């Protein structure tokens, strides 16, 4: 008798969250994905009760800020992506913001361990009068723990539409050893992409560049601002990322989970 191939248990999770101008409109959570709404009412904290992601896990987040709503979404802790035995871990994020809405997508860092495989997609549909701030930051192993990432797979895909028109598209792909040339990460092992879509984006550029200092740079055009930051490790990255997000989030405050 031929033995059946070993099947590894896979984790799944999904969140559907909609915030209106008057408060919560919809809240649905399934499996290992949970969301908590602390006292402020317009802040949501995502929790992965599985303690991380492994190959073949699938998580999805459908987040909506309705007309004139304010919503800040963060995570309880950094997400960990462990060594895969073959397939990618998959994360799908869908963001929607109505007219006059202010939506902040501010999850904490994603830590990729050696051999990790992650495919993440972020799609946003914004009203022409909506405001969006989004960040994704990645740490390649924990330097303080002596971890070295020799092989990793990451595909980060962003597609942002405003009024149905594509206004920002970005793909980051690593498959193999982390890029270490002078034109890529060099000696850095942490990096972040920050995007703000706002009518006053141009007016924040100088302050943003001052906050980033030697950790990267930023550009603004056509009602949006994009920044890339790098750091020696996660703490080094945060020293620039937190001030940068503070500039772009005003008048909203960063979640407490982002405190250094």
Return the domain boundaries, the chain: 12-185
User: Does residue 48 contact residue 2 with C-beta atoms inside 8 Å?
Assistant: no
pLDDT tens track for 103-132? 999 999 999 999 999 999 999 999 999 999
How far from chain centre, in Å, is Cα 240? 16
CA angle 201, 76, 148 (to 5 degrees): 90
Phi, psi of 33 (to 5 degrees): -100, 125
Q: Tell me the CB-side half-sphere exposure of residue 191, using CA atoms within 13 A.
A: 19
In the structure encoding, which two tokens stand for residue 45, read together? 């904290």
pLDDT at 1: 52
**What's the average model confidence in pLDDT over 187-198?**
96
pLDDT tens track for 208-233? 999 999 999 999 999 999 999 999 99
pLDDT at 104: 98
Task: Name 193's bridge partners.
Answer: 136, 228
pLDDT at 144: 63
Alpha helices in the chain (DSSP H): 201-212, 234-249
**What's the average model confidence in pLDDT over 229-251?**
96
Q: How many Å apart are CA 58 and CA 135, to the nearest integer?
A: 20
**What's the average model confidence in pLDDT over 4-10?**
62
Q: Tell me the CB-side half-sphere exposure of residue 35, using CA atoms within 13 A.
A: 26
């Amino acid at each position: 008798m031929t033995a059946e191939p070993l099947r590894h248990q896979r984790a799944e999770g999904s969140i559907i969250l909609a915030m209106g101008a008057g408060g919560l409109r919809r809240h649905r959570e399934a499996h290992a994905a949970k969301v908590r709404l602390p006292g402020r009412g317009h802040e949501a904290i995502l929790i992965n009760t599985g303690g991380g992601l492994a190959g073949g896990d699938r998580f999805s987040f459908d987040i909506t800020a309705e007309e004139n709503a304010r919503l800040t979404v963060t995570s309880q802790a950094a997400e960990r992506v462990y060594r895969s035995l073959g397939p990618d871990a998959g994360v799908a994020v869908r963001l929607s913001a109505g007219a006059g809405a202010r939506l902040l997508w501010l999850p904490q860092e994603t830590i990729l361990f050696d051999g990790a495989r992650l495919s993440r997609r972020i799609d946003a549909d914004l009203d022409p009068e909506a405001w969006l701030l989004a960040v994704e930051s990645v740490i390649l192993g924990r330097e303080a723990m002596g971890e070295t990432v020799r092989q990793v797979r990451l595909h980060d895909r962003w597609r942002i539409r405003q009024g149905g028109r594509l206004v920002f598209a970005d793909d980051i792909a690593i498959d193999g050893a982390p890029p270490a040339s002078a034109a890529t990460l060099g000696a850095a092992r942490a990096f972040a992409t920050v995007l703000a879509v706002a009518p006053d984006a141009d007016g924040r550029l100088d302050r943003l560049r001052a906050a980033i200092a030697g950790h990267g740079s930023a550009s603004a055009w056509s009602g949006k601002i994009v920044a890339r930051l790098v750091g020696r490790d996660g703490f080094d990255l945060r020293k620039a990322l937190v001030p940068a997000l503070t500039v772009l989030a005003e008048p909203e405050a960063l979640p407490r989970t982002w405190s250094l």
